[in-house]
Amino acid sequence: MEYIGPQAASACEALSDLCLRGGKRLRAALVSTGALCFRKPYDDKLLIDIGAAVELLHTYFLVHDDWMDGDLVRRGGPSAHAVLRRSHGQASGDAAAILAGDWGSAVANAWMAQLPLPPRTLTPVLTAFSRMQRDAVAGQLRDILAKDNDIELTYQLKTASYTVEGPINLGAIVAGATINDLRQIRRFAIPVGIAFQLRDDLIGLFGSTTTTGKPFGSDLRAGKRTAVAVCALERARGSNRRIIAETFGNPRASNRQLKEAVHVIESVGAKSLVEQRIVELLELAERQLRVAPVSAAGRKLLASAASALVLRSM
């Protein structure tokens, strides 16, 4: 990147620093898991290249999302726009962060285009990759703009399709999965992905701040339409409803108010309803997995992945 000059290259460096700073590498792991489900021989290096492109694509979304959500911390360090504001001021720093994300998207697509695959594999792999990109954007659009209560549609797009189904598909196609195989994987991946996001919401609301790495009650303060919050708002009446409404989307809600609201959300039954839904989705996914046309090793890995994703402790 040196050729574009040190100031412009600082944006690309902010992206690359964030990408290499860590993260769970969940999506790259699911690419490999998807490949282990099928039997056509493949070069391991392919999976590494795809996994790297997927993680770069993910970093692009994190950079844009953090700017939209005003999050200044990511992966234990400053988010990209926080770094770039420091060097270039607020307006140019924000523009540079958006462009840093755009840069990551271009480079990830360039890597994918150069995979040494025959066209009957390259076209579906690239189609799956651009679909991940499209669904993640659609999910984030719903997160920001949608006023309806179909929270599971948002989760299907932003988590199940983008985070679970897409990565598994990429590996599965490389290892010879057919369209019918992918259809059956989808029946497993979508409920797992939705349950994963539901669990993530519960951890965000009821987990310790050391587990979440976010300030207590931040989703409530931000007015995020999570399933548990929407469910509680639907069920609560009278003073209970007022207690939640006073914190929801109120950046100045006090810690005491937030604690009270979290207590009400639990007492009106929203927490246990979401927990029931998680169990239901996980059971559905497990049933689908039992009949999915995947290798024994793949089935075992997918089952472990599902439990690990969905039954994380708080």
Binding site for its own copies (CB under 8 A): 3-5, 7-8, 10-12, 64, 67-68, 88, 92, 95-96, 98-99, 102-103, 105-107, 109-110, 112-114, 117-119, 122-123, 126-127, 129-131, 133-134, 137-138, 140-142, 144-148, 150, 153, 157
Pair 118, 70: CB distance under 8 Å: no
Query: What minimum distance in Å lies between the beta carbon of 314 and its own copies?
Result: 29
Token match 């492109």: residue? 53
Residue with tokens 């969940």: 26
* Cβ nearer to its own copies, comparing 32 with 161: 161
Q: How many Å apart are CA 34 and CA 86, to the nearest integer?
A: 41
**Measured from the CB of residue 150, what is the shortest distance to its own copies in angstroms?**
7
Least distance from its own copies to the Cβ atom of residue 47, Å = 19
Longest dimension (CA), the chain: 63
Q: Which is nearer to its own copies, 157 or 185 (CB)?
A: 157
Angle of helix 227-235 relative to helix 270-291, nearest 10 degrees, comes to: 130
| Shorter beta-carbon distance to its own copies: residue 98 or 303 | 98
d(CA 247, CA 75): 27
Name which of 11 and 278 has its Cβ closer to its own copies.
Answer: 11
Local structure of residue 159 (DSSP, 8 states): I
Place of tokens 């989760």: 155
CB of 70 to its own copies, least distance (A): 9
User: Could you give the CA distance from residue 263 to residue 265 in angstroms, rounded to a whole number?
Assistant: 6
Residue (143 or 298) nearer to its own copies, CB: 143
CA separation for the pair 19, 42 (Å, rounded): 26
Instruction: Report, in Å, the least distance between residue 11 CB and its own copies.
Output: 5
Structure tokens at 1: 């990147």
At closest approach, how far in Å is the CB of 231 from its own copies?
19
Question: Cα dihedral sign for 130, 131, 137, 138?
Answer: positive
Residue 164 CB, shortest distance to its own copies, in Å, is 18
Amino acid at 153: L
Between 120 and 237, whose beta carbon lies closer to its own copies? 120
Distance separating alpha carbons of residues 59 and 18, to the nearest angstrom: 7
The residues near 300 (Cβ < 8 Å, ≥ 6 apart) are none
Q: Which is nearer to its own copies, 24 or 147 (by Cβ)?
A: 147
